[in-house]
């Protein structure tokens, strides 16, 4: 009987370490990537809003040609902007069109981030459930309550 319980404990521990924690890490990494994209979209939105000001029709800027080699660039008419729509495609849009596109894209990314947050909560719940099962198999009363809880990843 004790040998059977010991084998089950090892199986559950392996399941937590090899499956659940790995899945949780993947979900959190995907969510972090989405948050980075959201930050980039908000930064682009701020730039577009500044470019819409009437005195900023022409634009002077430094452009990185590669290997941190910058050159001066002069854009005489900055009324249109190229926006990456995915899969390596860029579309030339007016500023209002670009802002609408960014608003929709940001909304879609926020929904994806919320879905991944729910998924991570489910995985954390599954980890907790398996840990409670391990405590039960080993004869402990309850999981020790941690006052200073931290994220697993």
Distances from the Cα of 130 to the Cαs of 6, 20, 146, in angstroms?
Answer: 15, 10, 17
CA–CA dist 130, 144 (Å, integer): 14
Q: pLDDT tens digits, residue range 78-132?
A: 888 889 888 999 999 999 999 999 999 999 999 999 999 999 999 999 999 888 8
Domain 2-138 has CATH 1.10.287.370: yes
Q: pLDDT tens digits, residue range 45-80?
A: 998 888 887 776 778 889 889 899 999 999 888 888
């Amino acid at each position: 009987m004790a040998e059977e319980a010991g084998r089950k404990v090892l199986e559950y521990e392996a399941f937590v370490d090899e499956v659940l924690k790995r899945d949780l890490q993947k979900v959190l990494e995907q969510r972090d990537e989405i948050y980075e994209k959201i930050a980039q979209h908000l930064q682009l939105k701020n730039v577009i809003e500044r470019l819409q000001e009437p005195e900023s029709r022409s634009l002077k800027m430094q452009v990185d040609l590669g290997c941190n080699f910058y050159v001066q660039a002069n854009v005489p008419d900055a009324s249109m902007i190229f926006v990456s729509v995915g899969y390596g495609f860029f579309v030339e849009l007016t500023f209002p069109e670009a802002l609408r596109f960014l608003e929709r894209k940001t909304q879609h990314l926020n929904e994806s981030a919320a879905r991944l947050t729910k998924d991570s909560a489910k995985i954390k719940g599954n980890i907790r459930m398996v840990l409670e099962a391990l405590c039960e198999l080993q004869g402990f009363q309850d999981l020790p309550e941690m006052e200073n809880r931290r994220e697993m990843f």
